[in-house]
Structure 1
């Protein structure tokens, strides 16, 4: 298991509280920065999956990306919290305190230590397109249901991806999205709906140009 050096920051890296039986969405990323597109995905998945909570997992750094110039974890968590008004959404950098590098480590920890919660992993369609590149992606799909939210221009590549083909047997009809959190993995749903053209990389490029 590849671990980073643990990083504990009071008020930043604690795991948010929850209660047995809760249906909890897990939405991970660098969030550099968080933007309205992220907020849209959170609002839509909370509603359509009928979740009780949504944990926004701000990663110490994406192992598939260049993390040079990445703002500190505390900065990104603070900026994300400042944008969010829904009390059901909790932003945390808890992965850093555990030294986790990969999503499968987070999923393994949460499903072992909080067995009486109903977790759903949430990702954008662009992430599904590259899901087969994630470390132990098959293990992730075998441990928690997954909700994939449409992203502008990403649908053709996502739905034709290696992961989508492998998990084809486990795909739910979109109308059955409210059932997802209560289902045993593997199970996933592709959610179409309102979209935002915003992206963190475009915002960073615009800021640099300005």
Structure 2
């Protein structure tokens, strides 16, 4: 795991990143700025339990970040889940919190993931473990109103204007952050429909 000091606000941005692209970089940039983060961990997972591994590129290939991301010293690339043999986000978050007392973490995900968040193993536990920032993605803007997670935890939604304080809030707490959106998707890039840049 990357080094962090007590009192820091750290964003956790996990995914398959198959492949990583400029859309992911935009989510990371928005999260760093709008959540007032000291660091953002770009966590490349060994594999998503909800997705087929047939098209999954080797971990070493998915660790090649877009140049703008690699150049940002506040973004820390990590694939520690493979070392700890962790498959599920709930276990990842528990491990991170146990190993980094005194650090304020926030889970970051694109709005396209919010739609199916209730299919994640122990999704309610995830929401009760750590604040969540949902970053707008094309075609997913209304997910924050219609998703099962958004409806279930509607009472815990934090105004977007309070996003800089989200990492220090007691969960459940989540916000939806609007901003510039990229049309890039890993699926479209794998299918040859788009370039990663």
Q: Give TM class, smaller chain.
A: over 0.9
After the TM superposition, which parts of structure 1 deviate over 6 Å for at least 4 consecutive aligned residues?
Answer: none
- With over 3 angstroms needed to count, the CA separation of the structure-2 counterparts of 1:143 and 1:196, relative to structure 1, is same
Whether the 8 Å CA contact 1:34–1:200 is kept in 2: the answer is yes
Could you say what secondary structure the match of 1:197 adopts?
coil
Measured against aligned partners, the alpha-carbon deviations of 1:115-142 in whole angstroms (never above 9, x if no partner) come to 2110000001111111100000111100
Q: Aligned partners of 2:179, 2:92: CA distance in 1, in Å?
A: 28
Matches within 5 A, 1:100-115: 100-115=86-101
Q: TM-score, normalised by structure 2?
A: 0.94
Q: Aligned partners of 2:30, 2:74: CA distance in 1, in Å?
A: 13
Gaps of 5+ in 2: none
Measured against aligned partners, the alpha-carbon deviations of 1:35-93 in whole angstroms (never above 9, x if no partner) come to 1111111111100100000001100000000111312112211x126552110001111
Q: TM-score, normalised by structure 1?
A: 0.88
Q: Aligned partners of 1:131, 1:120: CA distance in 2, in Å?
A: 16
- Structural RMSD (CA): 1.4
Match for residue 87 of structure 1 among 73, 87, 90: 73
The corresponding residue for 1:176 is: 162
Whether the 8 Å CA contact 1:81–1:91 is kept in 2: the answer is no
Q: How many residues align?
A: 193
